[in-house]
Amino acid sequence: MRNYLKELQEELRRAFTGQPDSTPAWVPRLADGNDAGYHLPGSAVWAVHGSMPTIVAGIRVLLMQSLHPGALAGVYDHSGFKEDPLGRLASTIRWIFTVTYGSTEAAQAATQRVKKIHDYVQGSYVDAHGTTQRYAANDPELLSWVHVAYADSFLAANRIWGRPVPGGPDAYVREWAQAGRLMGIESPPLTESAVRAELDRWYEAGELRADERLAETVAFIHHPPLHPTLKPGYRILFAAAVASLEPKYRELLGLKTARIGPFPFPARFAARVVLGVARLALGRVSASELAARERLRRLGYDA
């Protein structure tokens, strides 16, 4: 069991950071800075992002974001997600954790790095109505879709597998709205109901599209090139992410039922077991959170 957990720990670290044996250089730097940052211990953001259900949420986010053909085109044409999916994942995690745990200067710098990359992500796509449209990754409308899909997915995963959020779901949406503002969204939603209303707006307007490109992307998310140690657990977490989706989105994605193998399976319960094993392997507190607490104590906060 000990050897299995060690191997699992290494492969999880490799998946999330690209480095199985050491902490990425950006993590200790979260202890630097001269202010508390945008979020503090006890915040809704710390509670949600510091929990294991974020792993399921990450899978769910990828599925949801892919439903918008403009967002999918940017990823499909520019990100190289098929050649280096774990590298893209590590980059996304770096931004999320820096905004969550870093100083305001660190969060702003990390966001500028992302936006600079986005400057080159431009092109065209065919929308759900058959019209060719231009897209740019820094377009506020596309960023809004990405932001609400993210917030909805993290709340959904936390509701099923996590613990109560300090201040409730609305507190999380309100606090994480700061990440949307950093990215250039002028008026991100501030309540869970507003998040759902935004999602419904795109769905009811027919802006979401199911096509061959979406099917190919979903198939890749379903079967990414993971180390054999991670594959059994990932199959369960993927099925759990699918089970957490609203039926209308599952239908668009071509994932009408959540299955593990050829038979129906209680994916939600199985995911709880897998997440518990992941917590054993990774520990209860992330290195990013520990670095943030070190900075806060240096600044005189109770951390």
Confidence of residue 78 (pLDDT cuts 50, 70, 90): low
So where are the chain's domains?
Answer: 2-293
Q: How many whole angstroms from its chain centre is CA 260?
A: 22
Q: Is the pLDDT of residue 232 over 90?
A: yes
Q: Average pLDDT of 181-196?
A: 97
Whole-angstrom distance, CA of residue 144 vs CA of residue 207: 13
Q: Please tell me the predicted confidence (pLDDT) of residue 282.
A: 86
Mean pLDDT of all residues in the chain? 90
Q: Average pLDDT of 198-226?
A: 92
Q: Please tell me the predicted confidence (pLDDT) of residue 260.
A: 53
Residue of higher predicted confidence among 197 and 133: 197
Q: Is the pLDDT of residue 182 over 90?
A: yes
Whole-angstrom distance, CA of residue 18 vs CA of residue 86: 7
- Which of 78-92, 145-159, 281-295 ranks highest by mean pLDDT? 145-159
Q: Is the pLDDT of residue 28 over 80?
A: yes
Q: Which of 14-28, 87-101, 102-116, 280-294 has the lowest mean pLDDT?
A: 14-28
Q: Is the pLDDT of residue 258 over 60?
A: no
Whole-angstrom distance, CA of residue 209 vs CA of residue 68: 6
Q: Please tell me the predicted confidence (pLDDT) of residue 263.
A: 46
DSSP notation for the chain? -HHHHHHHHHHHHHHHHS-SSS--TTTGGGG--SS--S--TTSHHHHHHTSTTHHHHHHHHHHHHTTSHHHHHHIIIII-TTT-HHHHHHHHHHHHHHHHHS-HHHHHHHHHHHHHHHTT-EEEEE-TTS-EEEEETT-HHHHHHHHHHHHHHHHHHHHHHS-PPTT-HHHHHHHHHHHHHHHT-SS---SHHHHHHHHHHHHHTT-----HHHHHHHHHHHS----TTTHHHHHHHHHHHHHTS-HHHHHHHT--S-EETTEE--HHHHHHHHHHHHHHHH-SS-HHHHHHHHHHHHTT---
Residue of higher predicted confidence among 25 and 256: 25
Q: Average pLDDT of 134-143?
A: 90
Q: Is the pLDDT of residue 65 over 80?
A: yes
Residue 133, phi-psi category: left (phi > 0), alpha (psi -120 to 50), beta (remainder): beta
Q: Which residue has the tokens 């699918």?
A: 242
- Helices 54-65, 267-282: inter-axial angle, 10-degree rounding: 120
Confidence of residue 89 (pLDDT cuts 50, 70, 90): confident
Q: Is the pLDDT of residue 162 over 90?
A: yes
Q: Average pLDDT of 124-134?
A: 88
Whole-angstrom distance, CA of residue 259 vs CA of residue 239: 6
Q: Average pLDDT of 135-160?
A: 94
